[in-house]
Structure 1
Amino acid sequence: MRLLTVIFFLVVSASTTAQLKQVSIVQFGAIGDGKTLNTAGIQKAIDQIASKGGGTVQIPKGVFVTGSIFLRSNIILELLPGSVLMGSPNRLDYGQSPCDAMINAIEVSNIAIKGTGIIDGNAKQVLQSLFDELKSGRLTDRDWPKKRPTESNRPKIIHFFKSKKINISTVSIQNGCTWIQSYERCDQVNIKGIKVNSTSYWNNDGLDIVDSKNVLIENCTINSSDDAICLKSESAELDSVVNVKVLNCSLRSSANAFKIGTGSRGGFKNIYVKGLIIYDTYRSAIALEAVDGAFLKNITIEGVRARNTGNGIFVKLGKRNKDERFSTVQDITIRNVSVQIPAGKPDKGYELEGPLLKYPPGIKPGDQLSISPWNKAPDDTASIEYLHHVFPASISSLPEHPVKNIKLENIELSYEGRNDASIPYFPIDSLHLITEAVTAYPEFSMFGELPCWGFYFRHVDGLSIKNLRLFQKNKEPRIAVVYDDVNYLNFEDINVPNTERVYRNVKRK
């Protein structure tokens, strides 16, 4: 009899544990009517199942409104077919400033978000609420109303911090107020098959990896009004962004498609990117930027096809940091890349377009040829639009601090081109006067008008080029390629006439 009692107890316990491994948020009072605030119920479901060792918290069919929720270790958040996890329209449901994200994970492990449902940041209503709170004085902001509310006052959709063993798969994420998702100082991050669509508001980076290691991003589709996939290093003390793979993704952006930087305080190494399809992107298909003292090394990017994109390749070493450190950029391989660059604005017609280039304050057209134009909002009528020819691809650095060991293989850049005699460009015999733009925001337009239309190389040690093809639909007076201060240049099979190349301070290998 005692043995039977023990067996019964074990069976009941096992059954109860199994039940706790999977719960629906409706069991905790959540209502999917698109109106009820369900933050407390969702958090209770997460906390209870986490206290039992972990399991799956399910979001069923319906529209479930929530403020900030926090995942615990060993939790899977599953969005079932027809489900929408909707951000609360009330800005204060994300806390004060700096606000929390909609979905947070802080110093936890073995967590996942999966399913075929939708995570919606509800950006328009959240921002309207934010403006109301700022006007009332219940919230304050250093940048508002002279510019726009700071990023710290606008909730991200997903923010994971100091967490590990993360899996994000197949969900759709949309309508964010700032960065859509950020994985900061995390380890073992797998992001597969997600869809991101957020083109309405400022700083809508599709996916940000910040000082994280051992990351796989695969088969994702991202349409965002800021950088689509961006790796950032915000801490000089960390070993930063290490061992990242980005595979077979479709990207569209009103900024850059794949970018390393601009935030570049620590470093980036062992980055492998393959199989990107890029379209209707305002800035660069590939942008590699180290401007805050970071190291950037052992980077391979291959198999990129970009159409209607403002620039093909942009690599820049600069120095915005105030300390004595200089960034280093070395061991970069870019191959099997094809980019089609239009003459006009490639992201025209989207709800939030990339900003037009304007003359810097105090400089008028004709005052100066070699300047770094700046980005201003399209509705800013106080500044003058910077008219320009199509900007070339570029790989550049600073005097005595060159980028090193750059390999380009099988690169095809096709420019629509524009022959407009009213737009002046920098003369080819005055290369030494072109701005170094040492502290300027890194962007392919940062040198202003250049004397070449295809590729601009400056301050490079070790440049190997094999099978570079440059095409221009509408001919113009500028030459195709400039090599300026390039040591150990080696090239073969370049489809550019010799008369369209200019060399200054170049040492051939």
Structure 2
Amino acid sequence: MKTHYLLLLGLLLYATDGFSQRKDYRITAYGAVADGETNNAAAIQKLIDKVSSTGGGRVIVPAGNFMIGSIYLKSGVELHIEKGGRLLGSTKRNDYSNKPSRPALISALNQTNVAITGQGVIDGQGQELMLDIFKLLRSGEMVQDTIWQVKRPNDRVFLVFMLGCTGVRISGISLKNSSEWVQDYRQCTNVTIDRMTVQSTAYWNNDGLDITDSRNVRITNCFINASDDAICLKSENPAMACENVTIDSCILRSSANGFKLGTASHGGFRNIKVRHLTVFDTYRSAIALESVDGGALEGIDIQYVNAKNTGNAIFIRRGHRNTTGHVGTLKGVYIAHVTVETPLHKPDQGYPIEGPPDHLHPGEDKMPKRPSSFHIYGHPWLPYNLIPSSIVGIPGYPVQDVVLEDITITYGGRADKNIAHIPLDKVTSVPENEANYPDFSMFGELPAWGFYMRHAEGIQFKNVRLQYKEADFRPAVVLDDVKNTTLTDVQIPTAKEMPVILFNNSTNVSTHNLKLPVEEAKGILKAN
């Protein structure tokens, strides 16, 4: 018995000693000052370097306002921000480093086992920082080449930027008021992000969460309110891709897209699994899948999405923005159990940074007149009729093998022929825009109110319900150059104009158990 007791005591002491090796270091014990004005970057960086070099541990930010410029996490270091603790980004651009050319408040470059945790806040003070950036632009100390860059200068600052890291953990923290993308995890492996809150509408081009060419990523239980895409996966390296990514139980609000793959899509996206998203007050699409830069977009599984007050439901685009390179692929997509409500009004109106008013509905407040040459993503700043969901490839390169199952989309309706009218024999007049920036409004007016498909094959609709609240003069569904497609249990209860469905230049399209307000034979028009 005594031997057994001693053995247990030894194991306990060993375990305690092992835990004690991972020490806690409070930044206030190493010179950090919580006055909200002193730049504590040097003191905190010195502590991070010390902790990493001695085997790792927690660098703790206690309650208080600690201002910093750029700091760099190192291997084995967990930056833990306690409740009431705030890391405030400096409002002076010269307090940030451009290493490795992407300025950020907190960076980690080619490190292993790094973490940011706690119940505290990282606040980039983006609006105040932008005032200093514009001051530098006016003085000539900072130079941008184009008007677009002046609006979105290259020297804006991320809150979190991690490059080439393995074993990244983000948990519990709140990120606020970035002047750039809030955070980007680029070419990283084994990334876990859980219970994070993003409140960032301080400036334009302000993605809530970007994953770029990273593998084995899990994002769960997050709330994101951003003035650009809420969760966006990107691929900027043709030799890499976003692979093995799981997203579950997140609430998203955006003045752009809710969940998006793209726009950058050079390497591509494979094995992406999304579950249980809530999207609200979102200007563009609830779901946007884009392959336009030569990469492969394959093996996408999205289920259980509930979107309200959203400008568009589903946007799937295979394009050719890389005009001198090969066309990427877009195939093997499954989207199921989705409910979306698209209103008559602009969905993000009233938020600090709104999307451009390029699809206002007649009857809304008159917007200011703009010169006819003024364009948003290549299109005039003019009102549109509500734009349907779409699956669109390019001639000779169709979107392939997409299944939509158990989908309900409700539109405001009330389209106006005085704005635009595409006659049924002119549906091919919709511009291809092969190289344009991909966005649900990229084609301008569309001839359908519910769903538009062009250059697609192997599409399956299963139990899809499309309905509007007020009448629309357009067909509910238009298929143009679509092959080997099946519509099963499609319900369109509110259509009044005939035809309800138009097939143009489409072959091997079969329908089963359609529920239309008229007989199927009267509701479907097959042209050409």
Asked whether the two chains share a fold, i.e. TM above 0.5, the reply is yes
Kindly, what percent of the aligned residue pairs are identical? 42
Q: Equivalent residue for 2:252?
A: 251
Residue 146 of structure 1 deviates from its aligned partner by 7.1
- For 2:227 and 2:343, the matched residues in 1 are separated by 19
Q: Equivalent residue for 2:272?
A: 271
Which blocks of at least 5 consecutive residues in structure 1 are unaligned? 1-10, 366-371, 377-382
For residue 299 of structure 1, what is the amino acid of its counterpart? I
Matches for 1:66-145 after TM superposition, within 5 Å: 66-95=68-97, 98-143=101-146
65-74 or 319-328, which deviates more:
319-328
Please, what TM-score do these two structures have when normalized by structure 2?
0.87
For residue 181 of structure 1, what is the amino acid of its counterpart? Q
Residue 276 of structure 1 deviates from its aligned partner by 0.3
Q: Equivalent residue for 1:3?
A: none
Q: Pick one of 29, 46, 63 that aligns with 1:61.
A: 63
Residue 327 of structure 1 deviates from its aligned partner by 1.1
Q: Equivalent residue for 2:363?
A: none
Secondary structure, counterpart of 2:94 in structure 1: helix
- For 1:423 and 1:401, the matched residues in 2 are separated by 31
- For 1:295 and 1:16, the matched residues in 2 are separated by 46
Matches for 1:5-404 after TM superposition, within 5 Å: 18=20, 21-95=23-97, 98-143=101-146, 147-150=150-153, 152-238=154-240, 240-357=241-358, 374-375=376-377, 385-404=381-400
Q: Equivalent residue for 2:478?
A: 482
Q: Equivalent residue for 1:499?
A: 499
Matches for 1:446-457 after TM superposition, within 5 Å: 446-457=442-453
124-133 or 222-231, which deviates more:
124-133
- For 1:436 and 1:489, the matched residues in 2 are separated by 21
- For 1:436 and 1:384, the matched residues in 2 are separated by 17
Residue 144 of structure 1 deviates from its aligned partner by 5.5
Q: Equivalent residue for 2:429?
A: 433
- For 2:489 and 2:465, the matched residues in 1 are separated by 9
Q: Equivalent residue for 2:514?
A: none
Secondary structure, counterpart of 2:490 in structure 1: strand
Contact 2:386 2:415 in 1 (8 A): no
Note closer, same or farther for the CA distance 1:207–1:16 as it changes in structure 2 (3 Å cut). closer
Note closer, same or farther for the CA distance 1:45–1:146 as it changes in structure 2 (3 Å cut). closer
For residue 87 of structure 2, what is the amino acid of its counterpart? L
Note closer, same or farther for the CA distance 1:111–1:89 as it changes in structure 2 (3 Å cut). same
Which blocks of at least 5 consecutive residues in structure 2 are unaligned? 1-12, 360-369, 511-528
For residue 180 of structure 2, what is the amino acid of its counterpart? T
Residue 100 of structure 1 deviates from its aligned partner by 2.0
- For 1:363 and 1:425, the matched residues in 2 are separated by 23
- For 1:342 and 1:215, the matched residues in 2 are separated by 34
Residue 18 of structure 1 deviates from its aligned partner by 3.7
300-309 or 123-132, which deviates more:
123-132
Q: Equivalent residue for 2:401?
A: 405
- For 2:249 and 2:30, the matched residues in 1 are separated by 39
> Is residue 467 from structure 1 mapped to residue 450 from structure 2 by the alignment?
no
25-34 or 305-314, which deviates more:
25-34
Residue 375 of structure 1 deviates from its aligned partner by 4.2
Contact 1:355 1:375 in 2 (8 A): no
- For 2:296 and 2:423, the matched residues in 1 are separated by 34
Note closer, same or farther for the CA distance 1:144–1:38 as it changes in structure 2 (3 Å cut). farther
Residue 492 of structure 1 deviates from its aligned partner by 1.2
Residue 138 of structure 1 deviates from its aligned partner by 2.5
- For 2:134 and 2:504, the matched residues in 1 are separated by 54
- For 2:306 and 2:453, the matched residues in 1 are separated by 22
Residue 420 of structure 1 deviates from its aligned partner by 2.5
- For 2:147 and 2:66, the matched residues in 1 are separated by 31
- For 2:102 and 2:295, the matched residues in 1 are separated by 28
Secondary structure, counterpart of 2:47 in structure 1: helix
Secondary structure, counterpart of 1:133 in structure 2: helix
In the comparison of the two structures, how many residue pairs are matched?
481
Contact 1:116 1:172 in 2 (8 A): yes
Contact 2:22 2:55 in 1 (8 A): no
Secondary structure, counterpart of 1:495 in structure 2: coil
Any runs of at least 4 consecutive aligned residues in structure 1 with deviations exceeding 6 A, and if so which? 14-17
111-120 or 125-134, which deviates more:
125-134
- For 1:467 and 1:146, the matched residues in 2 are separated by 46
Q: Equivalent residue for 1:5?
A: none
Contact 1:357 1:373 in 2 (8 A): no
Secondary structure, counterpart of 1:452 in structure 2: coil
Residue 140 of structure 1 deviates from its aligned partner by 2.3
- For 2:168 and 2:98, the matched residues in 1 are separated by 27
72-81 or 137-146, which deviates more:
137-146
Q: Pick one of 398, 402, 417 that aligns with 2:413.
A: 417
Secondary structure, counterpart of 1:494 in structure 2: coil
Residue 139 of structure 1 deviates from its aligned partner by 2.4
Q: Equivalent residue for 2:10?
A: none
Note closer, same or farther for the CA distance 1:283–1:384 as it changes in structure 2 (3 Å cut). closer
Contact 2:375 2:381 in 1 (8 A): no
Contact 2:297 2:329 in 1 (8 A): yes
Contact 1:141 1:149 in 2 (8 A): no
Please, what TM-score do these two structures have when normalized by structure 1?
0.90
Secondary structure, counterpart of 2:51 in structure 1: helix
- For 1:55 and 1:402, the matched residues in 2 are separated by 52
Note closer, same or farther for the CA distance 1:375–1:200 as it changes in structure 2 (3 Å cut). farther
Q: Equivalent residue for 1:369?
A: none
Contact 1:102 1:121 in 2 (8 A): yes
Secondary structure, counterpart of 1:356 in structure 2: coil
Residue 128 of structure 1 deviates from its aligned partner by 1.1
- For 1:76 and 1:433, the matched residues in 2 are separated by 57
Note closer, same or farther for the CA distance 1:96–1:207 as it changes in structure 2 (3 Å cut). closer
Note closer, same or farther for the CA distance 1:470–1:99 as it changes in structure 2 (3 Å cut). closer
Note closer, same or farther for the CA distance 1:48–1:16 as it changes in structure 2 (3 Å cut). farther
Note closer, same or farther for the CA distance 1:73–1:479 as it changes in structure 2 (3 Å cut). same
Residue 20 of structure 1 deviates from its aligned partner by 6.8
How well do the aligned residues superpose, as a CA RMSD in angstroms? 2.3
